[in-house]
Amino acid sequence: MTSEFKLAPSILSADFADLQSALSQCEDGGAHWIHVDVMDNQFVLNLTIGPPVVKSLRPKTNKFLDVHMMVIDPERLVEAFARAGADLITFHIEATDDAQAVIDIIKASGTQVGISLKPSTPLSEVEPYYDQIDLVLVMSVEPGFGGQGYIDGSTERVQKIKQKLTELCLQDRVLIEVDGGIKLHNAKKVIDAGANVLVAGSAIFGTDDPAQTIRDFYNLSS
């Protein structure tokens, strides 16, 4: 049996002219989290969602708002997203020269803390911070655009992170989230490798019935 997990539909793949419908579909399907991709056209070559969008989403849903900042100098935006209603703010280890300072700022804002890393970044870059964070986000595509294919080596990276967290007795405290190329056909192997949270965008909002697709993901654990 596949272990219990949380699904975080990425609204980057939803209809931006009707995000209320996307939230309703997530509610109807039973998704635990809502994943919000923030891109600044500098760290990655795309420009997406800012704090005003998160602020507009917050009163419309009681879902956990999972904000993934793909931006340089992430400390500049932490307070704005925290005030807007983020429950968790994740930054990229590659986007700052002082990860400890960013962690401290996020903690001071009152939100949970996540660290993300690109597919080519050594796991050793984030390991020193495991005991200070709530989540590690494994990018299984190159960040920047939705609809990419899953990089197979990502599954092994999840396994290694899970092993390290277990060695540190942190496996029950630090969640592993995987983002990129997650589909119904590969989700089970990623969960079995140790992932606790799966981000899916086009695999959900690109279907005729996003709510049913969310339920299909959760049926993998039944």
| 121 alpha carbon, distance to own chain's centre | 17
| 168 alpha carbon, distance to own chain's centre | 23
Residue 179 appears among annotated catalytic residues:
yes
Any idea of the CA torsion for 56, 59, 61, 66, to the nearest 10 degrees? 60
Residue type, position 153, single letter = G
**33 touches 197 (CB < 8 A):** yes
Among 40, 66, 134, 179, the one annotated catalytic? 179
Residue 152 appears among annotated catalytic residues:
no
**87 touches 66 (CB < 8 A):** yes
Among 37, 40, 66, 134, the one annotated catalytic? 37
Residue whose entry in the numeric block shows the structure tokens 């967290």: 165
> 135 by DSSP, 3-state: which?
strand
Of 84, 85, 88, the residue nearest 113 (C-alpha): 88
List active site positions.
Answer: 37, 179
